[in-house]
Amino acid sequence: MKIETIAIHGGNVITDTLKPIIQPITLSTTFEHQEGSMLYTRLENPNRKSLETVMASLEGGTDAAAFASGNAAGNAVFQALPAGTHLIAPDDMYHGMKMLLQTVYAGKLEVQFIDLTDKENLRNAIKQNTGLLWIETPSNPLLKISDISALASIAKENNVKVVCDSTFATPVYQQALELGADIVMHSSTKYISGHSDILGGILVTKKKDDFWQHIKNVQGLAGAVPSPMDCYLLTRSIKTLPYRMKAHAFNAKRIAEFLDHHPWVEKVYYPGLSSHKGFETAQIQMEGFGAMLSFLIKGNANDADHLIGKLKFFSNATSLGGVESLIERRSKVQVGDPGIPDQLIRMSVGIENHEDLIEDLDQAFKVTFNS
């Protein structure tokens, strides 16, 4: 071999007798033509396969498709629908996904946003050309709970496909396929990554039907796929997901109770509080209530900003699901959204010690309201 050839081929140490315990990172974009081999990384890659396999098992599905972001995962579903399809989506929906439907799909899909916490609203909305019901539960940012099995059975009677965005619940706390969804979606940027350092999305299907084949075509041919490195890191993160979720939810419950009793808090949105409208449904369909919560203070937007500014352990930033606690005044992101009051604060509870977090909140309330 000459130097140019050695530079390219000299580093390969792959042998049949070397069996690592951890799936190695396969950055190669292409594979030797061989019976049963993978072909090209846009279509398939060992690390993506690893991620898709573990996610399909966690959700009790038959197949999964990983994407470069949660929105790319949602987009693959929307692109797989025939033009002109009537799509029903929740009024409280992750705003980036809502914007995707309202901008990119304007004139291509007929999108209708309704309150899915009342199943009669769904019954009234279904039409001849309804093709998809998009559920998001618990929802972002108002933590609305939709009854997946009740909605899915109405959809099924009408031949409507059901996709559930389970990002807030994770497969640890909600099994959307078992409850009746055809496909479950996650922004793996959030709890699945858990460390605020990977962007990703994933779909898991109950059945490998024609609709799923369309989605797989969008994944492989449109190619918004995650890198092998990101897939590797997500697979690594998933190993601790159940343990992280327990710590997140333990803290969130305690913070929700602290806020619920606080004299300067008007209302707390957390499905694990018995006063929450969706508490009963959440108790039935979830194994735990997750770690996202929102609340309204007895004050204005300035007071909310002041409170947030006084916190030591909660960073003032958007996104969620990382081990560190985050907080934001939600209308800074959902600018001008009439459904989001100016003083609404959304919190992603991390896995720090809950006493430190509560003490931090307590001092920030005291300085904000001189109480």
Ligand X SMILES: *Cc1c(COP(=O)(O)O)cnc(C)c1O
Q: CA–CA separation, 108 vs 93, rounded Å?
A: 19
**Position closest to ligand X via CB:** 70
- The sign of the dihedral angle between the CA atoms of 10, 14, 20, 25 is positive
CB of 188 to ligand X, least distance (A): 7
Q: CB atoms < 10 A from the CB of 323, how many?
A: 15
How many beta carbons lie within 10 A of that of residue 315, not counting itself? 16
Candidate ranges 89-97, 169-177, 212-220, 355-363; the one touching ligand X (CB under 6 A): 89-97
Binding mask 128-157 for ligand X (x = CB under 6 A): --------x---x-----------------
Question: Which residues ranging from 242 to 301 are in contact with ligand X (CB under 6 A)?
Answer: none
The yes or no reply on residue 189 touching ligand X (CB under 6 A) is yes
What residues does 134 pair with on adjacent strands?
163
Q: Which stretch binds ligand X (CB under 6 A): 5-13, 24-32, 69-77, 335-343?
A: 69-77
Contacts of 313 (CB under 8 A, 6+ apart): 325, 350, 352, 356, 357, 360
Q: Answer yes or no: 165 catalytic.
A: yes
Report the residue from 71, 196, 205, 285 that binds ligand X according to the rule CB under 6 A: 71
Decide: 110 and 86 in contact? Cβ < 8 Å.
yes
Span from 40-48, 92-100, 153-161, 231-239 in contact with ligand X (CB under 6 A): 92-100
**Active-site entry in 63, 92, 147, 165:** 165
Structure tokens at 151: 């909605």
Long-range contacts made by residues 361-367, C-beta under 8 angstroms, separation at least 24? 361/255, 361/258, 361/259, 361/311, 361/314, 362/258, 363/310, 364/307, 364/308, 364/310, 364/311, 365/262, 365/264, 365/307, 367/310
Q: How far is the CB of 317 from ligand X (least distance, A)?
A: 13
| Distance between CA atoms of residues 51 and 66, nearest Å | 8
243 catalytically annotated: no
Is 94 an active-site residue? yes
CB of 8 to ligand X, least distance (A): 35
Options 94, 105, 232, 269, the catalytic residue: 94
Q: What's the half-sphere exposure (Cβ side, CA atoms, 13 Å) at 170?
A: 29
Contact stretch for ligand X (CB under 6 A) within 84-92, 162-170, 205-213, 298-306: 162-170
Q: Which is nearer to ligand X, 136 or 230 (CB)?
A: 136
Q: Which two tokens stand for residue 266?
A: 């008007």
CA pair distance 41, 29, nearest whole angstrom: 5
Q: Residues 85, 146, 167, 174: which binds ligand X (CB under 6 A)?
A: 167
**Catalytic (active site) residue 127:** no
96-125 footprint of ligand X as x/- string (CB under 6 A): xx----------------------------
Q: Which is nearer to ligand X, 241 or 364 (CB)?
A: 241
Give the one residue of 190, 244, 248, 330 binding ligand X; rule: CB under 6 A.
190
DSSP-derived letter for residue 259 is H
Question: How big is the chain, counted in residues?
Answer: 371
Pick the stretch among 64-72, 214-222, 273-281, 340-348 that binds ligand X (CB under 6 A): 64-72
Site size toward ligand X (CB under 6 A) is: 16
Q: Is 339 in the site for ligand X (CB under 6 A)?
A: no
Backbone angles phi, psi at 233, to 5 degrees: -65, -40
Q: Which amino acid is at 250?
A: F
Binding ligand X (rule: CB under 6 A), the pick from 104, 199, 301, 358 is 199
Q: Is 63 in the site for ligand X (CB under 6 A)?
A: no
Residues that bind ligand X (CB under 6 A): 69-71, 94, 96-97, 136, 140, 165, 167-168, 187, 189-190, 199, 201
Catalytic residue positions? 42, 94, 165, 190
